[in-house]
């Protein structure tokens, strides 16, 4: 199961209001849509950032995804949650973008927040032996992002949504437009690949 990520769980009261907000936005109420944007901007942005490893690209893609979703609201039938539907738009847009950007990769390497330096997991992972000791925070981040970028878009998406964003297999399947079995197999394959890429940075048990 995916670990819950702070801020990623839908709040009960918020989900009740969501239908009304969607209905209002569909009728052209921009204030209602503004509320929906505020509600999901961080999660959508974070996913797109981890997919692209670039803040500027993630910013553009997130904005375009929200704009496209607004114009496509009339086609939203309500079969899934608005969040999943929005996620699918953002993900499709990002995968298309990444296919076009195939040969162009640039990372932003100094984007970790201050709290990362005090994360016990990070301290534990930067071992006191081997090259891991020398690897600073930015070096680790660079390697992590490089390893992720070596995965195909679909495998990276599943890892990001599950291991970084904390979404369940079912939610990922709905957003990615595939079945749960495919999500599980992609996740397993992607993790295997990452383990190989990041062998130096993973503690041997």
Partner 1 sequence: MNENENNFESLRRLLALKRHETPPPGYFDHFSGTVMARIRAGEGGAAERQESGLSWLSRMLAAFEAKPAFAGAFAFSLCLFLVFGIVYAERPDVLPQPMLQSQQDSSPLAYATTPGGLNSLPAEQPVAVAISSSTNPVFSSQSAGPWFASQGAAVQPVNFILPGN
Span from 16-24, 78-86, 140-148, 175-183 in contact with partner 1 (CB under 8 A):
140-148
- Residue with tokens 């079995």, as numbered in its chain: 181
- Concatenating the DSSP letter of every residue in 149-171 gives HHS-HHHHHHHIIIIIS---HHH
Q: In sequence order, which residues have a C-beta less than 8 Å from that of residue 121 and are 6 or more positions away?
A: none
By the 10 Å C-beta count (0-12 exposed, 13-18 middle, 19+ buried), 92 is classed as: middle
State yes or no: residue 111 binds partner 1 (CB under 8 A).
yes
> Using alpha carbons only, how large is the chain's radius of gyration in Å?
18
Among 22, 32, 91, 140, binds partner 1 (CB under 8 A): 140
State how far the Cα of 145 lies from the Cα of 52, in Å rounded to an integer: 9
Phi-psi sector, 139: left (phi>0), alpha (psi -120 to 50), beta: alpha
CB of residue 93 vs partner 1: minimum separation in angstroms?
A: 10
Span from 14-22, 97-105, 115-123, 174-182 in contact with partner 1 (CB under 8 A):
115-123
Among 34, 150, 179, 181, binds partner 1 (CB under 8 A): 34
Span from 79-87, 98-106, 158-166, 174-182 in contact with partner 1 (CB under 8 A):
158-166
Question: Which residues in this chain contact partner 1 in the complex, by CB under 8 A?
Answer: 1, 3, 5, 30, 33-34, 37-38, 41-42, 45-46, 49-50, 55, 58-59, 62-63, 66-68, 70-72, 75, 111-113, 115-116, 119, 121-122, 124-125, 140-141, 144, 159-160, 163-164, 184, 188, 191, 194-195, 198, 201-203, 205
């Amino acid at each position: 199961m995916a670990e819950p990520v702070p801020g990623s769980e839908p709040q009960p009261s918020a989900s009740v209001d969501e239908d009304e907000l969607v209905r209002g936005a569909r009728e052209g109420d921009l204030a209602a849509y503004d509320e929906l944007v505020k509600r999901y901007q961080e999660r959508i942005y974070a996913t797109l950032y981890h997919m692209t490893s670039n803040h500027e690209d993630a910013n553009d893609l997130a904005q375009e995804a929200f704009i496209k979703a607004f114009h496509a609201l009339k086609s939203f039938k309500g079969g899934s949650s608005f969040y999943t539907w929005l996620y699918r738009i953002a993900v499709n847009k990002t995968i298309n973008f990444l296919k076009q950007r195939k040969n162009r990769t640039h990372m932003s390497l100094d984007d970790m927040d201050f709290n990362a330096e005090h994360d016990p997991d990070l301290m534990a992972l930067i071992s006191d032996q081997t090259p891991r000791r020398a690897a600073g925070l930015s070096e680790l981040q660079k390697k992590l992002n490089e390893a992720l970028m070596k995965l195909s878009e679909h495998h990276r998406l599943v890892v990001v949504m599950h291991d970084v964003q904390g979404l369940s297999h079912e939610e990922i399947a709905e957003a990615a437009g595939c079945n749960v079995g495919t999500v599980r197999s992609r996740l397993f394959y992607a993790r295997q690949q990452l383990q190989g890429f990041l062998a130096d940075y993973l503690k041997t048990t």
